[in-house]
Amino acid sequence: MPVQSYRDLVAWQKSFQLVLAVYRGTQVFPKTETYGLVTQLRRAAVSIPSNIAEGHARTTTGEFKHFLGIAMGSLAEVETQILLCQSLGYVAAEDSESLLESGAEVGKIIHGLLRALKN
């Protein structure tokens, strides 16, 4: 099935699901983190599908690859912050592991998309 919209991309779909999981997971964080880790983690997570969408909307493959690279950077940021949240006791180990697994899946899909765009 041909890709007609960024919403057809599995990378966008999976990263969008990651954002929803991050939002749900951060709802229980301490109020003292409302403008700290909660905001930072949510913004970084939202950046992943947003950059995939923006890159897809650009006119060249080079631009798309550039935005996929930005999405990968945001993904690394999310993963780091999840580990920090786990270390601080804001998220249970099993919840952290689930988020990290979802992030790893998104990363593999984006890497696959980048490989496909190089050919």
> Structural domain boundaries of the chain?
6-118
Of 85, 80, 75, the C-alpha closest to 18 is 75
Q: Where are the alpha helices (DSSP H) in 27-92?
A: 37-57, 61-87
Residue 119 above 80 pLDDT? no
pLDDT in tens, 1-47: 677 899 999 999 999 999 999 999 999 999 999 999 999 999 999 99
> What is the percent of the chain where pLDDT is above 70?
99
Q: What is the pLDDT of residue 1?
A: 65
Q: Which CATH superfamily is domain 6-118 in?
A: 23S rRNA-intervening sequence (1.20.1440.60)
The residues, any chain, with a CB within 8 Å of residue 105's CB and separated by 6 or more, are: 14
Q: Per the confidence metrics, is the pTM higher than 0.85? A: yes
Q: What is the pLDDT of residue 82?
A: 97
Confirm if 79 and 103 have CB atoms less than 8 A apart. Answer: yes
